[in-house]
Amino acid sequence: MTLQEYDYARESPSKLAASCLLLALTMKNLGGWTPTLEYYSGYSAQDLHPLVKRLNFLLTYQPHDKLNAVRSKYSHRVFFEVAKVTPMDMLKLEETLTSS
């Protein structure tokens, strides 16, 4: 989704990937940003928090009239139905990020 949004073009691909991973871990309650992830990514959780919040906002307020082919494709079991995952509540995300 970020490939279609000009605002994300200035973000480094590694930081964007790390932020997506942190958001996914948080959304699925699979733990937080571990020292191993920090070491290999080069980013601390605090470095990623602003971008994680922006990504969740993008998921929450995505226009449903665009990108229907992409949404349809990623709604299938083959892709683990990731397009159907409900974004986190912004306040709950903030609370989860600051507590870790």
**What CATH number is associated with residue 56?**
1.10.472.10
Instruction: State the maximum Cα–Cα separation within the chain, in Å, rounded to a whole number.
Output: 40
Instruction: Please report whether residue 47 resides in a domain.
Output: yes
Domains: count for the chain: 1
Using DSSP's 3-state secondary structure scheme, residue 11 falls into: coil
Q: What is the pLDDT of residue 53?
A: 96
Q: What is the pLDDT of residue 40?
A: 97
Q: What is the pLDDT of residue 65?
A: 67
Q: What is the pLDDT of residue 22?
A: 97
* Residue showing tokens 């990937």: 17
Instruction: Please report whether residue 5 resides in a domain.
Output: no
Tens digit of pLDDT at every position of the chain (100 positions): 787 788 999 999 999 999 999 999 999 899 889 999 999 999 999 999 999 999 999 888 876 666 678 778 888 999 888 888 888 999 999 999 988 6
Instruction: Please report whether residue 71 resides in a domain.
Output: yes
Instruction: Please report whether residue 38 resides in a domain.
Output: yes
Rounded to whole angstroms, the Cα distance separating 33 from 18 reads 10
Instruction: Please report whether residue 53 resides in a domain.
Output: yes
3-state helix, strand, coil in the chain (%, to 5): 65, 0, 35
Domain that holds residue 31: 13-99
Instruction: Please report whether residue 3 resides in a domain.
Output: no
Instruction: Please report whether residue 34 resides in a domain.
Output: yes
Specify the pTM: 0.85
